[in-house]
Structure formats: C-alpha cells, structure tokens
Amino acid sequence: MSHYKINELFETLQGEGSFTGQPSIFLRLQGCPVGCSWCDTKHTWEINLDSEVASDVVLNKKAETDEWVDLSPEDMLRIFQSKGFRAKHIVITGGEPCMVDLKPLCELFEQHGFSCQIETSGTFEILVSDDCWVTVSPKVNMRGGYDILSSAMQRANEIKHPIATEQHVDDLKALLKEHDIKSTPIYLQPISQKERATKLAIDTCIENNWRLSVQVHKYIGIE
C-alpha cells in the first residue's frame, strides 16, 4: 500500500492557473530539493523523521511547520469524509510532489469521483494517472541544480511560470523553444504582488497571447 508524507490537508479555492476559483482539496507533500529562492513553502523542503506527527496535528495546524503525517490514499479519503469536504477537485502540491509515484493516489481518487491536479517544478519524472491535470511551474537554474525534464514539459496541461524580471521571461521563452512547446496554455505569475512584477506579467501576456495568474487566494486572504 502506498503512503505519502502530508504536510497539509485542507479545503479551499484554487487561486492559480486554469482552475482559479475551483473549490479544491489541497494535499501538500513534504520534501523538495529544488531550492527556489522565492519559495513560500520552505517549511516543506526537509524531511525530518523526528517531525512525523499524528494526523490530527496536521489537520489542525495554525502555523506553517515542517511536521508531516504518513497517510495512505484510503486514509485521505476517510479524512475527506470525516471533515465533510464538498470539493471534488484535488490539488497535489508541495514541496515537490513528483519525488514520489502519484499514480496510485490519483487513480484511487478518480475512482471515487474526484478530479486530480498536480503542481510540479518539472524536475522529476511525472508519475500520475492519464486523466490527472499537470501544472508544470518550471524552475530554471535553481539552487538544487536540477534540469527541467523534456518529459515533464511535454506532459504539461498548463505551464505556470513565476516572473519578476525580464530574465525570467527570457528563461521561459528559451525553455519553450528548447522543448518545442507551441499549444500548451502559458500562465505568467508575478513572484510578488508588487506593481512592477505585475505590470511586467500583464505586458508580456498581452505581447505573447499568454494568460495571467495572480494568486487570487493571496488577494482575498484565504489559504
């Protein structure tokens, strides 16, 4: 039976990309070696075995911590039911969720009427169900030194790229050219909510017929 290290499990609205506004259950997995300098979930990077806790600790978190619980997909389904979650869309994120095989997780959820989406940096092989929606947020030249995999770029249903500078835009264009990406929806997401980064994203989206993702959840103050 597959088990996964879960840092957070909660119901909210998806605030980014194609599913913005969609009621969703978020599963945040522990562990990520990519090392993005602007990461807003650095508490998920390290897997400290001393930080394993009971499920109720994770479910009732009031602050960001590196504590995680080991759960099977069946355990998660029971939690969804016990918590009375009504969302039918599941977002699997991290950390870097593709460090592990997500196919058993996705397939079981889909068998129970849920749709699945993963959010990945594109630096690990993507092992998911055929119907899983894959959001690749490519992390170029990060501290961890991982390359973006061609297989990840080709599997992406959408590409969501964080930007703050022209260099970030140039990196994305080079990546799209390298992997011959032509029809996949492209979202630009300002790394900060600052006016300069947002204006750059807007102008670049208009210039290239791309789309804007503004992390709606941060603007309206939800998790």
Residue 32 marked in a binding site: yes
Residue 137 marked in a binding site: yes
Between CA 153 and CA 137 the distance in angstroms is: 9
Name the β-bridge partners of 136.
120, 159
Residue 144 marked in a binding site: no
Residue 155 marked in a binding site: no
Residue 31 marked in a binding site: no
pLDDT tens for 144-162 read 889 999 999 999 999 999 9
Please name the residues in contact with 168: beta carbons below 8 A apart, sequence gap of 6 or more.
Answer: 161, 162, 191
Residue 2 marked in a binding site: no
Residue 39 marked in a binding site: yes
Q: What pLDDT does 139 receive?
A: 87
Residue 14 marked in a binding site: yes
pLDDT bin (cut points 50, 70, 90) of residue 18 is very high
pLDDT at residue 220 greater than cutoff 90? no
Residue 123 marked in a binding site: no
**Fold for the domain defined by 4-162:** TIM Barrel (3.20.20)
Degrees to nearest 5, angle at CA 16 with 170 and 99: 75
Residue 212 marked in a binding site: no
pLDDT bin (cut points 50, 70, 90) of residue 1 is low
Residue 95 marked in a binding site: yes
Between CA 54 and CA 46 the distance in angstroms is: 18
Residue 200 marked in a binding site: no
pLDDT tens for 161-215 read 999 999 999 999 999 999 999 999 999 999 887 899 999 999 999 999 999 998 7
pTM over 0.85? The answer is: yes
